[in-house]
Amino acid sequence: MERYNNIIEFDEISSTNDYSMDLVRREQVPEFTVVRTDFQTKGRGQIGNCWVSNRGENLLFSVILHPSHIPANNQFILSQCVSMAVCDTIACFCDNVTVKWPNDVYVGERKIAGILIENLLISKMIETSVVGIGLNVNQTSFVGAPNPTSLKLEIGQDCNCKAVLELFLTKFRECYEAISESSDAIRTAYGQHLYLLNTVSSFKDKNGVFKGAISAVGDDGKLLIIDENGAHRHYYFKEVEYLHPHFDR
């Protein structure tokens, strides 16, 4: 393990999110402490999925925050802030970067980064947030992921993982500090970067398959889809599925 400038680095660890959570339970951890590893043996994704990543090829890290200024019922703003900082970072290398609601980052039709935010709440406030990010940097072949991409696949050359991390941290600090003043700019930017925004596509909810277009995301994080009949349908995470082609690379 190596520690410098609030960055704790490992060659191998189970999961940077799990390590970060254990750390904040054991000791006081300064805000913006970063836990980064070259390899995870139990990397976790959304909805109980695994996050699998080749050794040393990608960015796998967690940022520890104490967002005491964000009420728990407004926690989606943190997700928007992280998503936009990841988008802005990737946009330094390639075009057509979007956020597939709620917080997968896409280049074109392919996923380049995933975000897993886990919170410790005290009464109605977020005491600690562990913001876990897996960003595909130099990996070029993937097993199991349906439509992955990486910076190297997009731009045709290797990127320095640590430089990409530094870029992200600068952008994330800016966004994070900005939301303590006002959330408006981040909400607007997030809304403008939605994957499939205003594009008629197929979706599936508990009542079946339908066609509609993503129109916006509410402050509460609910996705608004306007269906073919003009009806407004609102969804929390996991209540609706995107039906779009899967790709083989």
Q: What is the 3-state secondary structure (H, E, C) of 10-76?
A: ECCECCHHHHHHHHHHHCCCCCCEEEEECCECCCECHHHCECCCCCCCCEEEEEEECCCCCEHHHCH
C-beta separation of 152 from 138 below 8 A: yes
Task: Look at residue 154 and give its three-state secondary structure.
Answer: helix
Return the bridge partners of 226, or none: 213, 232
Kindly tell me which of 14 and 215 has the beta carbon lying closer to ligand BTN.
14
C-beta separation of 52 from 143 below 8 A: yes
Q: Is the dihedral of CA 156, 162, 166, 169 positive or negative?
A: positive
User: What is the smallest separation between the CB atom of 47 and ligand BTN, expressed in angstroms?
Assistant: 7
Question: How far lies 209's CA from each of 16, 29, 145, 240, in Å?
Answer: 37, 46, 23, 10
Kindly tell me which of 17 and 183 has the beta carbon lying closer to ligand BTN.
17
Binding site for ligand BTN (CB under 6 A): 15-17, 40, 43-46, 49, 51, 60-62, 104, 114-116, 132-134
User: What is the smallest separation between the CB atom of 30 and ligand BTN, expressed in angstroms?
Assistant: 19
| Size of the chain, expressed as the number of residues it contains | 249
User: What is the smallest separation between the CB atom of 232 and ligand BTN, expressed in angstroms?
Assistant: 27
Kindly tell me which of 31 and 227 has the beta carbon lying closer to ligand BTN.
31
User: What is the smallest separation between the CB atom of 147 and ligand BTN, expressed in angstroms?
Assistant: 12
User: What is the smallest separation between the CB atom of 154 and ligand BTN, expressed in angstroms?
Assistant: 18
Kindly tell me which of 65 and 115 has the beta carbon lying closer to ligand BTN.
115
Closest residue to bound ligand BTN by CB: 114
Kindly tell me which of 21 and 126 has the beta carbon lying closer to ligand BTN.
21
Tell me which DSSP letter residue 236 carries. -
